[in-house]
């Protein structure tokens, strides 16, 4: 998992990397599951600390085909990153290979370059403004003046140098006074960035107990407060679990949309304010029992997810994100920094309102599904802003309620409910569309498969063996790897 995350820093460099925040859910075969909270924190600690003002941000509109989303970027949008601290911590607790062995494949990718797939090229196209906003970013993503496209090779030699040095120095590089954190602060400050040395000194990876919910006799473990994505997925699953399972795909789809709508409605202003505070769990479960309703807001778009299961039963599910990216690359480091302070969904009280040092909330929801006797069955997570909740919910329901195999469950056309409307991906059966329309939902129909509907990556274990599924919406992939690190062909069906 750690090696895959390093490699993703190159293969999906717009979405993740040393400048990202993330969550890593790990469950060893002989111990409890733990979520390592390595998400972004609000900066501004110390005597020189400054608070964000909205006028410090630049706004850009990103088109998703039939939908749009506004993002706010620039040096002042950068929150304190923590994802690589989380990777180092997980490696220190559970790693078996030397750190240099885990970093080397990513270094080779950064030097040789990655050939851009159609899916990644499309993502870069819609994020063009962020990826060319500064000369440092443009040098990576548009080195000849034009944005690299499908079939072009994206090279990141300075990131290769950064990763090589990280492998040599280890996590001390990320500590206050460490070479990487010092360059980050020194590079950001003159540009108007808000991250201080005191922010770096105060940052810690926080171990958390996963949020747990029962669904069809299984235990679903996911990201707990102060993040909201896992809690809302759990609420939708709990709503469905209170009703009998159905073999009718139309009834099942309508029940899932209704459950998603009810869960979304729980995300009111008080929900956001109480997240992470003592007593939240009791308050939330009481609201869930009442069936309260409302309307959610949107979240960040740029997330990478990796799911891993090994022969010994060790499982890991990790989601990380740059948000939409700040547009800022510190030239001698060679990677894009996050824009978490400019994400409307992570700052529900308005920009600059989160107290320095406090964790931002997130929709990311790395998730593990255990059988009734406690064995791992599915390891799952998704990219896709607020749509990732619908993607994880629907894939889980497809497997546990619909009896689909993992690959079919990931590739099945999706529905996303928000407010009183439902986005309908191309390929959803017409009887399902008609039933939703008759239920009074405002429908927005899409012409085909689209990354708007998330990017689920999942692995699992069935009686016939292991399976893996990468979401074609975002160029996802699955592979089996032996103990020597060699990739083995993975059966297309479990």
pLDDT over 70 (residue 229)? yes
Q: Which residues contact 30 (CB under 8 A, 6 or more apart)?
A: none
Supply 170's token pair.
């280890």
Contact criterion met (CB below 8 Å) for 255 and 240: yes
Strand 442-445's sheet: what is its strand order? 415-418, 421-424, 442-445
pTM for this predicted structure: 0.91
pLDDT at 345: 73
Average pLDDT over residues 357-365: 91
Q: Exposed, middle or buried by CB within 10 Å (0-12, 13-18, 19+), for 151?
A: exposed
Q: What is the DSSP letter of 172?
A: G
Q: What is the sign, positive or negative, of the torsion defined by CA atoms of 194, 199, 205, 208?
A: negative
Q: Is the peptide bond before 82 cis (omega within 30 degrees of 0)?
A: no
Q: What is the sign, positive or negative, of the torsion defined by CA atoms of 390, 391, 394, 397?
A: negative
pLDDT at 285: 73
pLDDT at 365: 94
The Cβ of residue 348 has, within 10 Å, a number of other Cβ atoms equal to 17
Q: Which of 85, 392, 22, 394 is nearest to 227 (CA)?
A: 22
> Sorting pLDDT into bands at 50, 70 and 90, what band is 203?
very high
pLDDT at 430: 97
pLDDT over 90 (residue 6)? yes
Average pLDDT of the chain is 90
> Sorting pLDDT into bands at 50, 70 and 90, what band is 300?
very low
End-to-end CA distance of the chain: 21
pLDDT at 287: 76
Average pLDDT over residues 213-232: 93
Summarize pLDDT for 44-77 with one digit per residue, the tens. 999 878 989 889 999 988 877 667 778 899 999 9
Summarize pLDDT for 248-277 with one digit per residue, the tens. 999 999 999 999 988 887 777 777 777 767
Structural domains in the chain plus CATH codes: 2-204+316-346 (no CATH), 208-300+364-488 (3.60.20.40)
Summarize pLDDT for 426-475 with one digit per residue, the tens. 999 999 999 999 999 999 999 889 888 999 999 999 888 889 999 999 88
pLDDT at 44: 95
> Sorting pLDDT into bands at 50, 70 and 90, what band is 158?
very high
pLDDT over 90 (residue 160)? yes
Tokens 């990216």: give the residue.
Answer: 325
Q: Exposed, middle or buried by CB within 10 Å (0-12, 13-18, 19+), for 358?
A: exposed
pLDDT over 80 (residue 402)? yes
pLDDT at 489: 58
Query: Picking from 48-57, 208-217, 279-288, 467-476, which range would have the lowest pLDDT averaged per residue?
Result: 279-288
Beta strand 218-222 with 415-418 is unpaired
pLDDT over 50 (residue 294)? no
pLDDT over 60 (residue 295)? no
Is the model more confident about 385 or about 478? 478
pLDDT at 292: 56
Q: CA distances (Å), 56 to each of 73, 148, 349, in order?
A: 9, 29, 17
User: Catalytic annotation on 246?
Assistant: no
Supply 459's token pair.
């692995």
Query: Picking from 74-88, 138-152, 348-362, 404-418, which range would have the lowest pLDDT averaged per residue?
Result: 348-362
Tokens 């999942």: give the residue.
Answer: 458
pLDDT over 70 (residue 494)? no
Q: Which of 279, 297, 176 is nearest to 232 (CA)?
A: 297
pLDDT at 230: 92
Contact criterion met (CB below 8 Å) for 358 and 348: no
Q: Which of 378, 292, 232, 322 is nearest to 18 (CA)?
A: 322
Instruction: Catalytic residue, from 162, 222, 239, 303: name it.
Output: 303
pLDDT at 298: 43
């Amino acid at each position: 998992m750690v090696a895959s995350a390093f490699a993703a820093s190159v293969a999906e460099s717009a979405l993740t990397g040393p400048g990202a925040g993330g969550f890593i859910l790990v469950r060893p075969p002989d111990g409890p599951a733990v979520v390592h909270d390595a998400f972004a924190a609000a900066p501004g600690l110390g005597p020189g600390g400054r608070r964000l003002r909205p006028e410090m941000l630049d706004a850009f509109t990103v088109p998703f085909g039939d939908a749009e989303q506004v993002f706010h970027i620039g040096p002042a949008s950068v929150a304190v990153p923590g994802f690589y601290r989380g990777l180092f911590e997980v490696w220190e607790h559970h790693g078996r290979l030397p750190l240099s062995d885990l970093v080397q494949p990513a270094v080779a990718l950064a030097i040789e370059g990655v050939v851009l797939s159609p899916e990644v090229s499309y993502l870069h196209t819609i994020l063009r403004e962020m990826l060319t906003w500064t000369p440092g970013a443009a040098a990576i993503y548009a080195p000849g003046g034009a944005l690299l496209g499908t079939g072009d090779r994206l090279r990141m030699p300075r990131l290769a140098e950064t990763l090589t040095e990280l492998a040599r120095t280890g996590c001390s590089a990320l500590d206050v006074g460490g070479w990487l954190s010092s360059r980050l602060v020194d590079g950001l400050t003159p540009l108007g960035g808000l991250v201080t040395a005191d922010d770096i000194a105060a940052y810690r990876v926080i171990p958390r107990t996963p949020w747990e919910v029962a669904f069809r006799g299984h235990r679903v473990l996911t990201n707990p407060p102060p993040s909201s994505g896992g809690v809302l997925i759990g609420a939708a699953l709990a709503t469905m679990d209170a009703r009998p399972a159905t073999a009718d795909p139309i009834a099942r789809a309508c029940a899932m949309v209704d459950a998603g709508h009810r869960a979304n409605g729980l995300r009111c202003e008080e929900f956001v304010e109480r997240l992470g505070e003592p007593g939240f769990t009791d308050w939330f479960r009481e609201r869930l029992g009442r069936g309260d309703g409302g309307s959610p807001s949107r979240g960040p778009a740029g997330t990478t997810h990796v799911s891993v299961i090994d022969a010994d039963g060790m499982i890991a599910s990790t989601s990380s994100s740059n948000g939409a990216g700040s547009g800022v690359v510190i030239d001698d480091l060679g990677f894009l920094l996050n824009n978490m302070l400019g994400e409307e969904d992570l700052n529900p009280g308005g920009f600059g309102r989160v107290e320095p040092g406090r964790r931002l909330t997130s929709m990311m929801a790395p998730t593990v599904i255990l059988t009734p006797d406690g064995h791992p069955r599915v390891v799952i997570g998704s990219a896709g802003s607020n749509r990732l909740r619908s993607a994880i919910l629907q894939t889980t329901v497809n497997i546990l309620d619909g009896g689909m195999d993992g690959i079919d469950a990931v590739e099945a056309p999706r529905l996303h409910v928000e407010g009183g409307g439902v986005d309908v991906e191309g390929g959803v059966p017409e009887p399902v569309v008609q039933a939703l329309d008759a239920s009074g939902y405002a429908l927005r129909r899409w012409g085909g498969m689209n990354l708007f509907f998330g990017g689920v990556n999942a692995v699992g274990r069935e009686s016939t063996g292991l399976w893996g599924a990468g979401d074609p919406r975002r160029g996802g992939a699955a592979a089996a790897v032996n103990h020597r690190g060699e990739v083995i062909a993975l059966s297309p069906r479990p």
